[in-house]
Amino acid sequence: MTRTGVWLIGARGNVGTMAIVGARAIATGHATTAGLVTERPPCTTLKLPGFDDLVFGGHDITTTGISSRAQLLAANGTPPSSTVEAVSDELERIDDRIRTGTITGSGSAIEALAEQSINGESLSSMVEQLRRTYRVFVEKHDLGRLVVVNVASTEQPLEQPARFDSRATIERAIETDDRTLPASAVYAYAALLDGHPYINFTPSTGASLGGLQELAIERNVPHMGRDGKTGETLVKSALAPLFAGRNLRVTSWSGHNILGNNDGRVLEDETHQAGKLESKGGVLEELLDGTFHNQVRIDYAPPLGDWKTAWDDIRFSGFLDTEMSMRFTWDGSDSALAAPLVLDLVRLIAHADEHGEGGPQPQLASFFKSPLGVDEHDLSRQFSMLERYVERHAEEHP
Ligand SMILES: NC(=O)c1ccc[n+]([C@@H]2O[C@H](COP(=O)([O-])OP(=O)(O)OC[C@H]3O[C@@H](n4cnc5c(N)ncnc54)[C@H](O)[C@@H]3O)[C@@H](O)[C@H]2O)c1
């Protein structure tokens, strides 16, 4: 298998940094593969890029480098400092490949965060600059393919996304310098146009626009999103089918999340939080029957650093309308939950690209809160979709 480039938009953030540290630590024998779906059956039967074959680069708008970010994460509990130390030379090398990103149309919380950004004379010049950046990276590192992954801060939701439901409307927006088109869609457009597979790990717009989906089909490029399913929503999508299957009628599901990292800081802004709440709450609407009180809160609690806690309170009625309840608490390291999924997604979308499977990738639904083009939210059924995909490949390419 040829070397695979991994272009992380938001590479210097917690998820980006954890993914880079993890991949390099696994490649050099300093970490196990715990947490990676692609490292357990049935995915182990697929021919996927090795961790040593992944070459990282990316865009960011902060000047705090990957090494410093990794040390901050280590001081907060994970990864271990010894792991960061073991790959520190490589972190410096990768950081030299980070280019300044754009925040066009991203919203006020991201504008407040940006220490540097390119906003281009026009959107079309910016698209050309992004395409050139991707191309130079591929040529310089002699890459067989480049996977572009959005792990940048959550943008404000795009108003009336249906405005961009065809490739023509997107290209008109770029030509006329329509700055309502958000950065995530601009990065995605530049990637898809040149055939680079694209993953949107965030709730931001990315390639969800009808026009970008059309472009992906035309160019036969695989892409998938949105919003990695790593914590409270992961548990919800495993647990809700239990209530539905037993005809236990949920009357109320309240979830309260607190987190202390920069993601939490951005999500403190109500406009940026709106997209996240939609994908977190929507999962239950899809899985449970009838009407019920469905509430999700996200609060920023800085002392938690990169850790998050979710408390969920579920009220339900059973036989003879007997009222019962269940509560759970989820404590997780935000980035240690997300980073292995990013690596799994890179490997699996590279596989899809290798086999000429363009467009959205339903077999990857289990990785996302709002899987593009997939109505199935039951976690075990989503896992079955991945298993069937792997089985099909095992039969077709024994
Ligand atoms: N950690 C999880 O469990 C999880 C789960 C699902 C989704 N996500 C999403 O992943 C994203 C990253 O989370 P994080 O914890 O790493 O956040 P973070 O704030 O630590 O990192 C985000 C990085 O993106 C950079 N950035 C912001 N806008 C940019 C732009 N337009 N171009 C280039 N770089 C940009 C920031 O400078 C920062 O370095 C968020 O959108 C979050 O909602 C995270």
**Distance (Å) from CA 19 to ligand 1 centroid:** 12
Question: What confidence tens digit (pLDDT) does each residue in 342-364 have?
Answer: 999 999 999 999 999 999 999 99
Domains and CATH numbers, the chain: 4-228+336-394 (3.40.50.720), 232-332 (3.30.360.10)
Task: Name the closest-CA residue to atom 9, ligand 1.
Answer: 202
pLDDT band at residue 58 using 50, 70 and 90 as cut-offs: very high
Interacting residues of 247 by C-beta distance below 8 A, sequence separation 6+ = none
Q: Which atom of ligand 1 is nearest to the CA of 115?
A: 37
| 66 in Cβ contact with 88 (< 8 Å) | no
| Neighbour order of strands in the sheet with 307-317 | 293-300, 249-259, 307-317, 323-333
DSSP letter for each residue of 86-125: HTHHHHHHHHTTEEE---TT--HHHHHH-SS----SSHHH
> Positive or negative, the Cα torsion across 333, 337, 343, 345?
negative
Residues in the chain, total: 398
**Distance (Å) from CA 269 to ligand 1 centroid:** 14
DSSP state letter for 392: H
- Taking all residues of the chain, what is their mean pLDDT, rounded to a whole number? 95
pLDDT band at residue 265 using 50, 70 and 90 as cut-offs: confident
| 113 in Cβ contact with 266 (< 8 Å) | yes
The residue to mutate among 7, 12, 15, 68, having the most atoms of ligand 1 within 8 angstroms of its beta carbon, is 15
Question: What confidence tens digit (pLDDT) does each residue in 105-115 have?
Answer: 999 989 999 99
- What whole-number percentage of the chain has pLDDT above 90? 90
The torsion defined by the Cα of 328, 39, 375 and 278, in degrees rounded to 10, comes to 50
The torsion defined by the Cα of 273, 275, 281 and 282, in degrees rounded to 10, comes to 180
Question: What confidence tens digit (pLDDT) does each residue in 192-248 have?
Answer: 999 999 999 999 999 999 999 999 999 999 999 999 999 999 999 999 999 999 999
**Distance (Å) from CA 298 to ligand 1 centroid:** 16
Instruction: Report the C-alpha gap between 236 and 288 in whole angstroms.
Output: 11
Interacting residues of 246 by C-beta distance below 8 A, sequence separation 6+ = 318
**Distance (Å) from CA 6 to ligand 1 centroid:** 16
| 332 in Cβ contact with 308 (< 8 Å) | yes
Q: Give me the amino acid identity at 222.
A: P
**Token pair for 268:** 């403190």
The residue to mutate among 67, 263, 331, having the most atoms of ligand 1 within 8 angstroms of its beta carbon, is 263
Q: Give me the amino acid identity at 4.
A: T
Residue 325: is its pLDDT beyond 70? yes
**Token pair for 104:** 């066009």
Angle between the 183-193 and 210-219 helix axes, to the nearest 10 degrees? 20
Question: What confidence tens digit (pLDDT) does each residue in 279-312 have?
Answer: 777 899 999 988 999 999 999 999 999 999 999 9
Pocket of ligand 1 (CB under 6 A): 9-10, 12-15, 59-62, 101-103, 106, 110, 113, 151-154, 183, 201-203, 227-228, 230-231, 261-263, 334-335, 337-338
Interacting residues of 237 by C-beta distance below 8 A, sequence separation 6+ = 229, 283, 287, 377, 378, 379, 382
